[in-house]
């Protein structure tokens, strides 16, 4: 199943780009993925040809390219839940002055589908597409509780996916 393995590797390359790490050099990405430099170079070259990644001159570092941006924007527009929730988010933000968001459980993480910023200048404001460990956020805990109510095996799968340990992000998680 070489084709399936290649697709999985391409997905890992693309998912390596994040808000925290928007650019990667070849050597660092190769180490991060635990793949050889020639393999990562071939994957990046194919992704670059189709615009999924782009190289920044003069450093040669790779970042997500215009095709990835277009695909992400298209996915966001096509998401029915985010579109349906938007008027309610706007009303909630107007009523409270606080940032409101709609999030889903995506494996062990919560994923922000949409948000409306409140009027406060100070505070955290993660953006659409941000993922957080579900066990470490208030929204994630609510989503996990609802998932557990529907399917008690969720806890076992979450523990298996995280190697039996959930990493604390603060002294209280």
Same domain for 91 and 54, yes or no, is no
CATH number at residue 7: 1.10.10.10
Domain with 47, as residue range(s), is 2-70
What does R_g of the chain's alpha carbons equal in angstroms? 19
Q: What is the CATH number of the domain that holds 85?
A: 3.30.450.40
Q: Give the position of tokens 């979450």.
A: 158
128 shares a domain with 56: no
In a domain, 29, yes or no: yes
Which pair of structure tokens corresponds to residue 151?
């399917």
What pLDDT is attached to residue 147?
A: 85
Q: Considering Cα of 28, then 33, then 39, then 43, what sign does the dihedral take?
A: negative
Judge whether 168 lies within some domain: no
**pLDDT averages per 10-residue partition of the chain, 173 residues:** 87 91 96 96 97 93 95 84 90 92 88 88 73 87 86 75 67 68
Domain end: 70, 90, 106, which one? 70
């Amino acid at each position: 199943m070489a084709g399936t393995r290649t697709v999985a590797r391409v997905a890992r390359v693309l998912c390596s780009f994040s808000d925290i790490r928007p650019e990667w050099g070849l050597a660092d990405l190769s180490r991060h993925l635990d793949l050889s430099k020639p393999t990562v170079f071939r994957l990046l070259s194919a992704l670059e040809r189709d615009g999924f990644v782009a190289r920044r001159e003069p450093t040669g570092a790779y970042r997500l390219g215009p095709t990835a941006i277009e695909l992400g924007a298209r996915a966001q527009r096509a998401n029915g839940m985010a579109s349906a929730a938007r008027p309610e988010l706007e009303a909630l933000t107007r009523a409270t002055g606080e940032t409101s968001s709609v999030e889903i459980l995506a494996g062990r993480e919560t994923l922000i589908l949409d948000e409306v910023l409140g009027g406060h200048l100070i505070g955290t404001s993660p953006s659409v597409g941000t993922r957080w460990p579900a066990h470490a956020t208030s929204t994630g805990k609510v989503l996990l509780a609802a998932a557990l109510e529907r399917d008690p095996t969720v806890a076992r799968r979450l523990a298996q996916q995280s190697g039996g340990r959930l990493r604390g992000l603060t002294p209280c998680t």
